[in-house]
């Protein structure tokens, strides 16, 4: 990756910095660094401040390690740094983001922004793979979809890049707007309006309004892509400044991109994918997609709509779609040596994404590797608490218990207090064998006593529940 050098005047202008008259500042800087363990000689050090750390405590160490200068927002400068090349700013995070935004603008690279209650990482991964067929792209790495990660991604852009793909997570109102102002995206995607963040925002309408901040910060020439059938899609339309393009899983929808037919499809490698027939502004086409589930078909429609804007038709994406792999532990279907089929989706969970995973599980249970079976295999779901759902959380967990019955789950292990109090009792009411586990260790203990070698096992929960532990134990399991 080729990074562009920075001049001292460029840095000072970008961050609106205050330079000391008696300090010696190098004229050029090789990189922007925030970690003293990764200092590059001649870089600018940005001391970020978190809940448990303050980068200002390490400014001296950074300069000694070879940093050419450092930002400073703490106030009084200690005596040992009075002559140091410090650039005063009001807030180091604001300054870091300003540097990232300036880097994007000085390179003249268009940006694509992706947000949504669910599906944003898979959609971002799809955009990276598909737009990469024609352009040199750089995209947000895993877990970097916050204030710091977005700026870091922008600062990693170099002259060889032609497109930036920025994933935007959200904790509350204003955060998407803050990130959107950094990139001023040429195309923006809202994948879904779900129940995530209900605890913070209170309603799905408020979630839609918060996500729509992305579209409000785009200009009149930009393209806003969103699901026509999402709750409060009208809110997204109202907040769109530029052009709009919608997608839908309904064949009878008026959306520009529509799913006409879907069916699960076994892949050459034994994995489960999808056969899709879609309608789009250029006509109709058939595609084989390596990811199963209607929720993934929705993510794909969103990605294809953006690719079309950048001159890539669905037919040109066929080979990339058949070999596509998304970030780990998102509907990762693995045939284990023990005979189990693991559906590892432990990274995160919301009601809509859990329903999607249950759908995939139901489909996968009809196959053993490439073999279509006359009767489905036993389905075991290890589902943990879904967090940040607010006052509706108990009811939403009960609905997942009902959904387990609708999808023919044979055994449910609910992990956490919310699951034990709501999901498990509802599943039992529907006639499913359902067990409660207080934590991931107890979940594995219960699961290991119930496993059969031919089972299909789904593992899914909010990230902080830690069910990656159960997934790893399943990979190591040798059989009863």
Contacts of 454 (CB under 8 A, 6+ apart): 339, 340, 368, 377, 378
Distances in Å between the alpha carbon of 7 and those of 11, 13, 26?
6, 10, 9
CB atoms within 10 A of CB 206: 17
| Domains of the chain, CATH where assigned | 6-95 (3.40.1390.10), 108-322 (3.40.1190.10), 332-476 (3.90.190.20)
pLDDT of residue 262: 96
Contacts of 247 (CB under 8 A, 6+ apart): 225, 226, 227, 228, 255, 256, 257, 258, 298, 301, 302, 305
pLDDT of residue 198: 65
b or e along 252-277 (b: 16 or more beta carbons within 10 Å of the residue's beta carbon)?
Answer: ebebbbbbeebebbbbeeebbbbebe
pLDDT of residue 199: 67
Q: Give me the count of residues in the chain.
A: 480
pLDDT in tens, the chain (480 residues): 556 799 999 999 999 999 988 899 999 999 999 999 999 999 999 999 988 889 999 999 999 999 999 999 998 899 999 999 999 999 999 999 999 999 999 999 999 999 998 899 999 999 999 999 999 999 998 778 899 999 999 999 999 999 999 999 987 789 999 999 999 999 999 999 987 766 677 788 989 999 999 999 999 999 999 999 998 999 999 999 999 999 999 999 999 999 999 999 888 877 889 999 999 999 999 999 999 999 999 999 999 999 999 999 999 999 999 989 877 657 788 889 898 999 998 888 889 899 999 999 999 999 887 788 888 999 999 999 999 888 889 999 999 999 999 999 999 999 999 999 999 999 999 999 999 999 999 999 999 999 998 999 999 998 889 999 999 999 999 876
pLDDT of residue 125: 95
220 neighbors 226 (Cβ within 8 angstroms):
no
Smallest CA-to-CA distance from 225 within 478, 233, 474 is with 233
In 168-256 the beta strands, taken as DSSP E runs, fall at 187-190, 223-227, 243-248
pLDDT of residue 143: 75
Instruction: Identify the bridge partners of residue 86 per DSSP, sorted by sequence position.
Output: 70
In 205-340 the beta strands, taken as DSSP E runs, fall at 223-227, 243-248, 257-266, 272-280, 283-289, 332-335
- What token pair was written down for 62? 């950074």
pLDDT of residue 197: 66
């Amino acid at each position: 990756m080729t990074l562009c050098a920075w001049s001292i005047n460029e840095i000072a202008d970008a961050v609106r910095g205050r330079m000391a008259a008696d300090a010696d500042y190098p004229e050029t800087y090789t990189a922007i660094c925030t970690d003293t363990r990764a200092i590059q000689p001649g870089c600018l050090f940005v001391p970020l401040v978190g809940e448990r750390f303050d980068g200002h405590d390490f400014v001296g160490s950074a300069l000694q390690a070879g940093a050419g200068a450092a930002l400073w927002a703490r106030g009084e400068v200690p005596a040992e740094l009075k002559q140091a090349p410090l650039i005063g700013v009001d807030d180091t995070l604001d300054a870091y983001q300003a540097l990232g935004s300036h880097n994007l603008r000085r390179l003249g690279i268009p940006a694509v922004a992706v947000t949504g209650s669910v599906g944003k990482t898979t959609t971002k991964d799809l955009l990276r793979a598909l737009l990469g067929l024609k352009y040199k792209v750089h995209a947000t790495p895993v877990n970097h979809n916050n204030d710091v990660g977005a700026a870091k991604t922008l600062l990693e852009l170099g002259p060889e890049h032609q497109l930036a793909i920025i994933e935007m997570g959200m904790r509350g109102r204003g955060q998407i707007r803050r990130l959107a102002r950094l990139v001023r995206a040429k195309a923006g995607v809202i994948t879904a309006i779900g129940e995530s963040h209900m605890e913070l925002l209170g309603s799905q309408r408020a979630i839609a309004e918060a996500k729509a901040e992305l579209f409000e910060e785009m200009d009149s020439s930009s393209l806003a892509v969103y699901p026509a059938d999402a709750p409060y899609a009208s809110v997204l339309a109202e907040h769109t400044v530029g052009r709009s393009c919608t997608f839908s899983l309904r064949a009878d929808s008026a959306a520009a991109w529509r799913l006409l037919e879907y069916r699960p499809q076994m892949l050459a490698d034994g994995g489960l994918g999808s056969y899709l027939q879609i309608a789009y502004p250029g006509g109709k086409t058939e595609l084989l997609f390596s990811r199963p589930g209607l929720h993934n078909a929705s993510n794909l429609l969103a990605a294809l709509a953006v690719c079309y804007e950048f001159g890539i038709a669905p037919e040109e994406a066929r080979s990339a779609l058949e070999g596509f792999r998304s970030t780990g532990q998102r509907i990762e279907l693995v045939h284990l040596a023990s005979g189990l089929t693991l559906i590892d989706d432990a990274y995160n969970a919301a009601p809509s994404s859990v329903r999607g995973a249950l759908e995939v599980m139901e489909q996968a249970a009809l196959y053993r590797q490439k073999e279509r079976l006359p009767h489905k295999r036993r389905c075991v779901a290890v589902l943990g608490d879904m967090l940040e759902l607010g006052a509706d959380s108990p009811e939403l967990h009960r609905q997942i218990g009902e959904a387990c019955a609708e999808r023919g789950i044979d055994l449910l292990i609910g992990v956490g207090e919310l699951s034990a109090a709501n999901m498990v009792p509802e599943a039992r009411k529907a006639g499913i064998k359902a067990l409660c586990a207080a934590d991931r260790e107890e979940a594995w203990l219960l699961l290991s006593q119930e496993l059969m070698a031919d089972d299909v096992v789904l593992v899914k929960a909010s990230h902080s529940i830690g069910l990656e532990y159960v997934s790893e134990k399943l990979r190591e399991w040798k059989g009863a």
